Amino acid sequence: MYEIYVTDREGLEHQVRINEGEKLMDVIRDAGLPVDATCGGEGTCATCHVYVEPVWYGKLPEIDDKELEFIEAAMSYDPGSSRLSWQLLFN
């Protein structure tokens, strides 16, 4: 088990436990933090949008066309840090 830091919409930092292979969306939601994830990780709504710190963003797998299409439609899209948390597996 590992620990990651998640900053919520109010700017408060939370230490959250995560295991290898878990989706970031599930971990954030299960910790009671505000991530809508309306579609439950089916990739149809972009309500699990998160910002990833630049130091970590470059270490993530490439964003695929489906994720990019949804995330670009988000009003708060930032090409250097926006990702959909259901796409991010911790390993």
Give me Rg for the CA atoms of the chain: 12
User: What are the tokens at 86?
Assistant: 């259901």
Per-residue pLDDT of the chain (91 residues; tens, 9 = 90+): 999 999 988 999 999 999 999 999 999 999 999 888 888 777 778 888 999 999 999 999 999 898 998 888 877 899 989 999 998 999 8
DSSP 8-state assignment for residue 40: S
Half-sphere exposure of 6 (CA within 13 A, CB side): 23
